């Protein structure tokens, strides 16, 4: 009986364990020159645009959002030619179903252990290139851009789904980055056991911009 209970408890524990986020891993390189604005200008609708993140550890996940404060894109010959987005770090909103740790987690993520929001109030993403894809089931475009968080800037490349009309542009993406590339090292030690935090963080964005 004891062996059965032990076996069942181990199954329950393993079932609750989380792994690093699945999905596309963004390619990371050194900072590159930003693309020059060419063509028609589109302004991001901050109210209709979202950025979501998912962080994982062996015993669970945390999700949250950041608000955009401003953003703009240019389009030339039916393709994105440039763009820049700014996110308010202090707008962090934890969206976990369990809200009992929301205040504590928010304070910790905004502290110097993670984003150091008192010193680094914003993060930015500036497009360096955008390549249209043909017959790619993962997306319509491959976007590269300089992502700046805290005092680090790295160039990331990922697949995005873009739809464009004469008056509106919509873009979505879902990819993983390694947070340690931007100096976010807290908890990145497997010897911490169930307090270990995976370095991979899933980023999801849904952008709406109007001409």
Q: Under 8 Å CB-to-CB from 158, ≥6 apart: which residues?
A: 24, 26, 27, 142, 143, 173, 175
7 occurs within a structural domain: no
Residue 179 maps to which CATH number? 2.40.128.110
133 occurs within a structural domain: yes
Cβ-contact 114, 201 below 8 angstroms = no
Instruction: Identify the CA nearest to 167 among candidates 106, 209, 115.
Output: 209
- Kindly give the residue spans of alpha helices, DSSP state H, lying in 33-181: 102-110
11 occurs within a structural domain: no
Number of domains in the chain: 1
pTM: 0.87
pLDDT in tens, 46-60: 999 999 999 998 878
Helix (H, G, I), strand (E, B) or coil at 5: helix
pLDDT in tens, 77-131: 999 999 999 999 999 999 999 999 999 999 999 999 999 999 999 999 999 999 9
Give the C-alpha distances (Å, rounded to integers) separating 113 from 38, 95, 117, 128, 195. 40, 20, 10, 30, 14
Instruction: Identify the CA nearest to 202 among candidates 53, 27, 20.
Output: 53
171 occurs within a structural domain: yes
pLDDT of residue 203 exceeding 90: yes
State how far the Cα of 91 lies from the Cα of 120, in Å rounded to an integer: 13
197 occurs within a structural domain: yes
14 occurs within a structural domain: no
pLDDT of residue 1: 54
pLDDT of residue 167: 94
pLDDT in tens, 26-41: 999 999 999 999 999 9
63 occurs within a structural domain: yes
What domain range is 34 assigned to? Answer: 20-210
């Amino acid at each position: 009986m004891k062996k059965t209970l032990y076996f069942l408890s181990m199954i329950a524990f393993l079932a609750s364990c989380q792994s690093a986020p699945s999905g596309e891993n963004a390619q990371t390189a050194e900072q590159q020159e930003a693309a020059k604005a060419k063509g028609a200008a589109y302004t991001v609708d901050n109210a209709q645009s979202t950025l979501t993140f998912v962080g994982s550890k062996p015993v669970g996940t945390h999700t949250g959002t950041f608000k955009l404060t401003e953003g703009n894109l240019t389009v030339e010959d039916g393709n994105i030619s440039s763009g820049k987005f700014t996110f308010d770090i202090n707008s962090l909103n934890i969206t976990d179903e369990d809200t009992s740790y929301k205040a504590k987690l928010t304070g910790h993520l905004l502290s110097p252990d993670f984003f150091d929001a008192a010193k680094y109030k914003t993060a930015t993403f500036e497009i360096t290139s955008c390549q249209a894809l043909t017959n790619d089931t993962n997306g319509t475009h491959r976007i590269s851009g300089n992502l700046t968080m805290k005092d680090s800037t790295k160039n990331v490349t990922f697949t995005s789904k873009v739809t464009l009309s004469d008056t509106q542009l919509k873009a979505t993406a879902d990819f993983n980055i390694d947070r340690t590339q931007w100096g976010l090292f807290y908890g990145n030690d497997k010897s911490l056991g169930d307090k270990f935090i995976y370095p991979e963080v899933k980023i999801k964005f849904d952008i709406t911009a109007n001409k």
